Amino acid sequence: MALTWVTPVFEAEVPLLHLQARSLARHLPPAEAADVVVLDNTARGLRAADRAALLAAYGPHAPRVRVLRPADVCPLPRTSGWRRQQALKLAVARSVRTPHYVVLDAKNHLVARPEPHAFVTADGRARVRGYGYRTHPLRPAFTHVLTHLGIDPEAHVDRFASTVTPFVLDTEVVRALVQDVEQRAGRPFAHAFVADDLTEFFLYAGWVVRRDGTLDHVMELTDEPSATIWPRGATADGVRETVATVAAHALPLLAVHRNAVPRLDAPARRVLAAFWAERGLVDSEDDGVALLAGMARRHAVERRRQQVRDVVPRALAVARRARRRHQGTAAG
């Protein structure tokens, strides 16, 4: 099945996106990608050299790559890059031309060809990982969004849609969600999304529950593990464990969080680079090690720049939450 593949990117993640492009060229047959959409969430737009290298890395998919700036997708309020990115993942549905689209982060890399129904079931439902949120760090966000939608969080806290990528979205459902949010709020989707402090995948799944009473009509929740190298697991043993999860479950994707990259020591880099080389993402283990070293250097510079850019938007977000708490207290 041909899908649309959507990935947002900002400065610190450009090298990871380049690796993702190589992974799609290596493991995704051209017939299975109707479009590849890059949401260019960098401050000034991708540099010409980065853009040219990226298109080359996509190989056979290059003719179907569309690079969209945030303004190409929807009107946006002033907010942090992370919040803007969340809104864009949903608002982009108006530009998607397939019944489903797969949202990736730049950290997600294909390491094997996906099985025919890896992302959409034979009966046309999105395959999404199921999680419990009773003790999950994201429980406050889960509770906030479902309460905002008028849904009892307790009824869904033990089994709900995950918030990790890849996340498969039903295009028409997302379009209906975006329209509904705009009509209820009386303002553009992203403005309402930010003002109400929403979270993209909780909003999507919660909206489906409010409309249908269940997630089952739109998605199949799975227990498939997520293979991600997080900062806390950025050791040689941690990388080996994640790679073993990929092999044990025949997973098509391995993720490397951007903040894990600078924490990888020399042995951990070797383990990851060897796996990348084995799966054809880099030409050799040495090339992979050199790539990780370059990523770490770039990450340090871009992270500092992003923190500076986000100072004012984060202050505005804190002020919005304080006003909302005050209004809630006053109303009570």
Q: Where are the domains of the chain?
A: 3-331
198 Cβ contact list (under 8 Å, min separation 6): 86, 145, 148
Write the CB contacts of 130 (distance below 8 Å, at least 6 apart in sequence): 159, 160, 161, 162, 221, 222, 223
Q: What is the pLDDT along the chain (332 residues), one digit of tens a residue?
A: 799 999 999 888 999 999 999 999 999 999 999 999 999 999 899 999 999 999 999 999 999 999 999 999 998 997 777 788 999 999 999 999 999 999 999 999 999 999 999 999 999 999 999 999 999 999 999 999 999 999 999 999 999 999 999 999 999 999 999 999 999 999 999 999 999 999 999 999 999 999 999 999 999 999 999 899 999 999 999 999 999 999 999 999 999 998 999 999 999 999 999 999 999 999 999 999 999 999 988 776 666 555 555 555 665 555 555 665 555 555 55
> Both tokens of residue 199?
């979270």
Distance, CA of 8 to CA of 68 (rounded, Å): 9
Residues 6+ apart with CB under 8 A from 285: 270, 273, 274, 277
Q: Which fold has domain 3-331?
A: Spore Coat Polysaccharide Biosynthesis Protein SpsA; Chain A (3.90.550)
Q: Which two tokens stand for residue 106?
A: 């730049």
Question: What pLDDT score was predicted for residue 305?
Answer: 59
Q: Is there a contact between 258 and 12 (Cβ–Cβ < 8 Å)?
A: yes
Specify whether the CB–CB gap between 189 and 166 falls below 8 A. Answer: no
The size of the chain, in residues, is: 332
Distance separating alpha carbons of residues 219 and 129, to the nearest angstrom: 10
Give pLDDT tens digits for 24-62: 999 999 999 999 999 999 989 999 999 999 999 999 999
Phi, psi at 162, each rounded to 5°: -75, 175
